[in-house]
Structure 1
Amino acid sequence: MRIVDRRLNPGGKSFSNRQRFLRRVRETVERAVREASRERAIEDLESEQEVTVPADGAREPVFRHTAGERRDFVLPGNREYIEGDLIDRPTGENGGGGTEPGKGGGQEDAFRFVLTREEFLSIFLDDLELPDFAKRGLVDTQKLGSRRAGFTMSGTPANLSLGRTMQRSLARRIAMGRPRTQVVERLERESAGAADKEVAELLAEELRSLRARRLRIPFLDPVDLRYRRFERFPKPVAQAVMFCLMDVSGSMTEHMKDLAKRFFMLLHVFLTRRYQRVEIVFIRHTDEAQEVDEETFFRSTETGGTTVSSALVEMDRIITNRYDPASWNIYGAQASDGDNMMSDNDRTRALLQEKILPRCQYFAYLEVANSNETSPIAYFGGSSLWNAYAPLSASVRNFQMRRVSRRDHIYPVFRELFQRRESSNAETQT
């Protein structure tokens, strides 16, 4: 029997060797990826990445003789020793080819190789997950459902399709020329009433032939049976939607907008790679909020005042109209410079606490700051929006807030917000 494997693999004859090597040095590569990600720009996620692995990390185990032990072996072409000569036992030092012992081998150079985009993202995003995604007891995002898929010639009696079976039977009888009952009955009447003996014999012979043909071609044959067929198909167990909210008002400097855009670009790459069934809704706001597409969200420019509550009102409206919390896992991420109208802070906090958080499994607030403010986590003094959100961060489990001021803060803050929670795994297992 010949077996042809037609599965598609990436180009290159060393693909399997490369995967085996990555598994062997995975821990070392993970450290190298974390170090490289600190300096890597968001745009570089679309390109390959060179990582450095210490030579010791890529070393393969080998068998060798232990220094100083006695062993018997043959030296071809020996002209120096004869049988019975005594030879000094080796000292075990790293000697060279001369008569003096070596001073120790030099250190090997680090091993460099290039990770593809898919390999880099796979390692970088491996321990990230939507927080508390398993709180509803979900192990996977899909289960198998059942649906009609035509007919089959085998099955259980309960799935027998009488209509389709009789259609097949009729088509077979017509194609094979099975005599109809009306024709046989007509010949029987003609044969019984025939006055001429010769005609009666001909009719009787034809009648016998028709009856024999009817016996050879049954009314219902096993090949006519048709059963309703059902097939299994992947069916979503739970659906997730991620809301991305960003302030694009006049108080946001280009540096702040750059930080916010980079955070959401990273979030977008993470979600679209990690979960195939996650929908993403982009909402940008000044003093008014609107739902936009991805290109407009990241590229378009707009100026105006700052009314954060408008974004939460738009998010609440979209949830009400399109995403029933009973059927969807809802997540939110908001990026802002923290400036907001003082008269709007109470309304913003009330909307988040009463309308948004009860419907969300997780909501993350990222505050972007000027580059001269160095703390990525704590913000003493606080902006108006930070101070409005602070009580919720301390009391509500599904709400977290962080602050970034430089590009190199984005990766650690992102990983902290979306790292895999052990508690979620424990809940799933129980």
Structure 2
Amino acid sequence: MTYFIDRRPNAKHKSAVNRQRFLERYRKHIKRSVEEAVNRRSITDMERGEKVSIPTKDISEPVFQHGPGGARNIVSPGNKEFLEGDKIRRPGGQGGGDGAGEGGASNQGEGDDEFAFTLSREEFLEFVFDGLELPNLQRKPLKSLEEIKMVRAGLARDGVPSRISITRSMREAYARRIAMRAPIKRALKEAQEALAAEERKDPVLRNPARIVELKAEIERLEKRIEAVPFIDTYDLRYHQLAAQPQPSSQAVMFCVMDVSGSMTQNHKDIAKRFFLLLYLFLEKHYEKVELVFVRHHTAAREVNEEEFFYSRETGGTIVSSALTLVNKIIEKRYPAGQWNLYIAQASDGDNWDDDSNICRDLLVKQLMPQLQYYAYVEITPHEHQSLWHEYETVAAQFPERFAMRQIVDAGDIYPVFRELFKRRLSQEQ
């Protein structure tokens, strides 16, 4: 009989298996509650879970009931009102039962609250980023010998005990015992037949010395058979492992943010929240994605995570300075043949008059041929300026790898983010 043992760690008084089954069953309701929570809370407040409510009418369980017909004997102690055959009046109120379960007003009975429970941080983020992925992620050639996978490479007679092959070792031992016992068993059989033939002779013709000699030989051969070891060090076989190079799916995400004077504090807060959401998404779903943070006004500079999100630097606007810097970083540290390259840019659309054309040429001629995906969000409630129109030209040339969306207020961040990084049908197939 086969036994299945679930060794997943469970918290005290909780069942991880039942909880996962519950989350999957009511995934639609939970996801809707999570989306509402994302829109009302700060993105920086993603480090905690969320309390989710589900209407009681949506968690009702199917039940078995007795159908008409058949004989049933029911004892109802304390019944002073009804006799056999009486019809019981339906209770008043909504829902058919004291007004309970529907949440409607009633002058009698009790109501039921919505079923509420708390999602952990990991469960909350799982629903937040459900169905999202980096577009066009490809397998790249080997970067270095560190990208390897240990694979089985046959058997050997030497190895560590943890890699011993029990089946192959027992097979070798069995074959060795057969080979070593075979000639001894043949000699034993001949001696036993000779002894039986000698004992069948007439007592006058029987040779007692020969009988003693044959018995001694049989005893010696039996001891030799028993002396053959069940398993010997010669029989042991060990699995061998070899390092096999693997294609690398490593990626780098360039986060480019406009911090010029035209970006108001509200614009910068929205941009930071967008990039924080992107940061959490990459941190949760990908192990081999590096982040490069670039801030720019008239000049661009690569910064660390802390400075990217919290520095108060400001100035004029030349977007091409950031794109030029990103291109230099790619050439120096992230060659396109070894890395999947992604860029996410946030700006208010304001740019130096003659610079938007330069940005278009940089993208078309240098960056886009190397990139897997470019996501541009423009944070503005006003009409688009020259930068947006030039980017539309780029999007027309690279429709599968260049996406641009507009964000008016904080409520647009999450819907725009999901639209930019939603899973493509071609990748699902």
Q: TM-score, normalised by structure 1?
A: 0.69
State how far apart, in whole Å, the 2-side matches of 1:39 and 1:234 are.
47
Residues 250 and 340, structure 2, Cα contact 8 Å, conserved in 1 = yes
Cα distance, 1:143 vs. partner? 9.3
Q: Given the alignment of the two structures, is residue 348 of structure 1 paired with residue 348 of structure 2, yes or no? A: no
1:145 to 128, 144, 149: 149
Residues 242 and 330, structure 1, Cα contact 8 Å, conserved in 2 = yes
Q: Which residue matches 1:383?
A: 385
Residues 134 and 425, structure 1, Cα contact 8 Å, conserved in 2 = no
1:408 to 383, 407, 411: 411
1:279 to 290, 297, 301: 290
Q: Which residue matches 1:114?
A: 118
Residues 289 and 311, structure 1, Cα contact 8 Å, conserved in 2 = yes
SS at match of 2:331: helix
1:249 to 255, 260, 274: 260
State how far apart, in whole Å, the 1-side matches of 2:410 and 2:291 are.
24
Pair 1:289–1:29, CA change in 2 (3 A): same
**AA at the equivalent of 1:20:** R
State how far apart, in whole Å, the 2-side matches of 1:81 and 1:233 are.
82
Q: Which residue matches 2:13?
A: 13
Q: Which moved more, 1:408-417 or 1:290-299?
A: 290-299
Q: Which residue matches 1:264?
A: 275
Aligned CA RMSD, in angstroms, stands at 3.6
State how far apart, in whole Å, the 2-side matches of 1:102 and 1:79 are.
20
Over residues 198-225 of structure 1, what are the superposed CA-to-partner deviations in whole Å (9 max), with x where a residue is unaligned?
xxxxxxxxxxxxxxxxxxxxxxx95699
State how far apart, in whole Å, the 2-side matches of 1:76 and 1:301 are.
77
State how far apart, in whole Å, the 2-side matches of 1:312 and 1:123 are.
33
Pair 1:90–1:418, CA change in 2 (3 A): same
Cα distance, 1:88 vs. partner? 3.2
Q: Which residue matches 2:108?
A: none
State how far apart, in whole Å, the 1-side matches of 2:62 and 2:391 are.
55
Residues 307 and 340, structure 1, Cα contact 8 Å, conserved in 2 = yes
Cα distance, 1:81 vs. partner? 11
Residues 134 and 424, structure 1, Cα contact 8 Å, conserved in 2 = no
Residues 347 and 379, structure 2, Cα contact 8 Å, conserved in 1 = yes
SS at match of 1:112: strand
SS at match of 1:146: strand
Pair 1:304–1:148, CA change in 2 (3 A): farther
SS at match of 1:50: strand
Residues 135 and 424, structure 1, Cα contact 8 Å, conserved in 2 = no
Residues 378 and 406, structure 2, Cα contact 8 Å, conserved in 1 = yes
State how far apart, in whole Å, the 1-side matches of 2:275 and 2:235 are.
60
Residues 245 and 311, structure 1, Cα contact 8 Å, conserved in 2 = yes
- The within-5 A match list for 1:12-411 is 12-16=12-16, 17-66=18-67, 71-75=71-75, 77=77, 87-89=85-87, 93-94=90-91, 105-107=100-102, 108-133=112-137, 145-146=149-150, 153-154=157-158, 229-231=240-242, 235=246, 237-369=248-380, 373=381, 381-397=383-399, 398-411=401-414
SS at match of 2:30: helix
Cα distance, 1:72 vs. partner? 0.8
Pair 1:63–1:95, CA change in 2 (3 A): farther
Residues 239 and 328, structure 1, Cα contact 8 Å, conserved in 2 = yes
State how far apart, in whole Å, the 1-side matches of 2:122 and 2:81 are.
60
SS at match of 2:298: coil
Cα distance, 1:15 vs. partner? 3.3
State how far apart, in whole Å, the 2-side matches of 1:327 and 1:226 are.
39
Cα distance, 1:385 vs. partner? 1.3
How many residues align? The count is: 338
State how far apart, in whole Å, the 2-side matches of 1:422 and 1:88 are.
62
Q: Which residue matches 1:208?
A: none
State how far apart, in whole Å, the 2-side matches of 1:224 and 1:355 are.
62
Q: Which residue matches 2:228?
A: none
Cα distance, 1:316 vs. partner? 0.5
SS at match of 1:242: strand
Q: Which runs of 4+ in 1 moved over 6 A?
A: 78-82, 224-228
Residues 138 and 340, structure 2, Cα contact 8 Å, conserved in 1 = no
Residues 392 and 399, structure 1, Cα contact 8 Å, conserved in 2 = yes
State how far apart, in whole Å, the 1-side matches of 2:234 and 2:371 are.
56
Cα distance, 1:284 vs. partner? 0.8
Pair 1:81–1:13, CA change in 2 (3 A): closer
**AA at the equivalent of 1:49:** E
Q: Which residue matches 2:226?
A: none
